[in-house]
Chains A and B, each alone.
Chain A
Amino acid sequence: MTIFNYFRTLRPQQKTAAVAKERLQIIVAHERRLRNSPTLEYLPQLQQEILEVVRKYVIIQNEHIKVHIEKEGQYEILELNITLPDTEKGQINIQKSSSDVT
């Protein structure tokens, strides 16, 4: 143990109770938001259905689609993020023209 470590143990950065409180405040606030917002209730299903539509054309995994809702003042912003695979193998041969689907 160096002399610096010795002084560090004498004065720990933050007590564990303070760390616990901080972590709890964040997770509890997050879980309350999920519980109390009716818009967020349909989010998992929305995500699933969007995924199914995209899957008609591109091979993607569940984790490649991210749906995120943020509140800004009076507005709620729905953010949709789909990561497409970079290889052409990911493309599905589409018979129909893509304009059918929009």
Chain B
Amino acid sequence: MGKIIVVTSGKGGVGKTTTSAAFATGLALRGHQTVVIDFDVGLRNLDLVMGCERRVVYDFVNVINGEGNLNQALIKDKRVENLFILPASQTRDKEALTVKGVARVLEALKKRFEYIICDSPAGIEHGAIIAMYFSDEALIVTNPEVSSVRDSDRIIGMLSSKTRRAVQNLTPVKEHLLITRYIQKRVNSGDMLSIQDVQEILAIPLLGVIPESPSVLKASNAGIPITLDKKSDAGLAYLDVIASFLGEEPPPREKKGFLTRFFGN
């Protein structure tokens, strides 16, 4: 049976969709049957970030309403084996995602996939709640910045009260903190919250840190998940995140030494 993982944050623009695309692609690269679902009905963007926007025919809401079946709606990634995308509907509103309908689709996906990644919309309304409702685990995407940290704390509160696991008194949703857009230089100069600061405030286990990187924008421009860019520091950081998510020791990344920093490679 597949595991349902929600990628959530409360605040918008922190990197939920980038993370969903990168994380799902990374899991599939490691040979796991993976599907990534866009829960942002009305504002779909995962298709663009994944580079499959012109292949969308049926969507999540169509499947819920029985206007198309799951196989028609699932888009198979052309670059990575084992990777599928379920796009959101662009013409409906978030209320179209009913608890019953979403439950039915997720049950069907759980039989077929090992990992079901749910890309949550921003906010704390219906769309975000339904995205987290059935989750087993959660990636809380947080920028080292006051509004993002506060909103993440709000979302952590909702994970422990508004999800199926909370309502039915099951084992709580397993939470992972993912810090994105991190700039070590600014942390060193005291202008940015450090990893330790954010972790201390939110008090959930840290899964990984993704550095701010120009390659992320380039990748989304091209519709390529950042984990497919072998030269990107952010892409490599996501691969490390996936390794630790799968319970492995992350491979030691070569740090630029004193001499290479001065003389180049």
A interface residues (Cβ-Cβ under 8 A, vs B)? 15-18, 20-21, 23-25, 27-28, 31-32, 35
Contact = CB atoms under 8 A, between A and B. Distances in A.
B157 interface: yes
Nearest to B149: A24
Interface in B163-217: 187, 189-194, 197, 200-201
Q: SS class of chain A's interface: helix, strand, loop or mixed? A: helix
Interface in B107-166: 145-146, 149-150, 153-154, 157, 161
Interface of B: 145-146, 149-150, 153-154, 157, 161, 187, 189-194, 197, 200-201
Contacts, number: 41
A28 B153 contact: yes
6 contacts: A17-B187, A17-B190, A17-B193, A21-B201, A24-B149, A24-B150
A32 to B, nearest CB: 7
A24 B146 contact: yes
Given A28-B153, A32-B157, A16 B191 contact: yes
A37 B153 CA distance: 16
A21 B145 CA distance: 9
A21 B150 CA distance: 11
Contacts of B161: 35
A35 B159 CA distance: 12
Q: Top 8 closest A-B pairs, CB basis? A: A15-B190, A21-B197, A28-B153, A35-B157, A17-B190, A20-B146, A24-B201, A17-B193
